[in-house]
Amino acid sequence: MLVSRLSRIGVQTVKQLARGMCTSLCRTGFLQTPYSQCRQPWFELHTDPKAFQGTLFQKHYLFSTTASGSDIGDGSEGKEMISVTFVDKDGEEKHIKVPIGMSMLEAAHEHDIELEGACEGSLACSTCHVIVMDVECYNKLEDPTDEENDMLDLAFGLTETSRLGCQVIAKPELDGIRLAIPAATRNFAVDGFEGGSAHDNI
């Protein structure tokens, strides 16, 4: 009985398809004719171009990232900074902000301060010689390595609080440090001892 009823429904369906009355099959398997509605028109919704575009837009919105103000620029934004003052041989002061972790040599160069740095921080010269003007600040620095001391021994106008600028790294405790740039540098290590000379920084 059931079998014959099902086969009758199948025959009717084939006939409707043949007559063009069925326009589509919905996802649930129900036939959609001009006179009936799919109970769950899920498939049609997701093939609608507008709905699809909406889905794409939503995905894009969810996964896109927008750079915040602190992410844009030269990379120093958002980092903790300390105040540093360089004093040149004429007593002229230049106040700058230096990000934590940056050497005083790099900071000087970024701000067009005339601190030579002939070996670019590889401890092979003494041209980045600076004098820490405040003993308290000097005592907060890491002790100089033997290599730094060797180069400092060659520096022009060595003092008790002399350091190499490329070895002084900004850290919070050094906020407010004042560094004097000697009137001259001596570049024995880079130029060779024979040809080494002392010259004005200007």
Residues within the interface to ligand FES (CB under 6 A): 105, 117-121, 123-125, 127-128, 151, 164, 166
Of 151 and 181, the one with the shorter C-beta distance to ligand FES is 151
How far are the Cα atoms of 9, 28, 58, 69 from residue 65, in angstroms, in the given order?
Answer: 55, 38, 13, 13
Handedness of CA 162, 166, 172, 176 (dihedral sign): positive
Of 44 and 110, the one with the shorter C-beta distance to ligand FES is 110
| Rounded Cα–Cα distance for residues 59 and 61 (Å) | 5
In whole angstroms, how close is the CB of 151 to ligand FES at the nearest point?
Answer: 5
In whole angstroms, how close is the CB of 161 to ligand FES at the nearest point?
Answer: 16
Please answer whether residues 165 and 103 qualify as being in contact, where contact means their C-beta atoms are separated by less than 8 angstroms: yes
Of 117 and 182, the one with the shorter C-beta distance to ligand FES is 117
Of 93 and 120, the one with the shorter C-beta distance to ligand FES is 120
In whole angstroms, how close is the CB of 149 to ligand FES at the nearest point?
Answer: 12
| Rounded Cα–Cα distance for residues 197 and 74 (Å) | 37
Of 98 and 105, the one with the shorter C-beta distance to ligand FES is 105
| Rounded Cα–Cα distance for residues 167 and 109 (Å) | 14
In whole angstroms, how close is the CB of 189 to ligand FES at the nearest point?
Answer: 8
Dihedral-angle region of residue 32 (phi above 0 means left; psi in -120 to 50 means alpha; beta otherwise): beta
| Rounded Cα–Cα distance for residues 31 and 29 (Å) | 6
In whole angstroms, how close is the CB of 109 to ligand FES at the nearest point?
Answer: 10
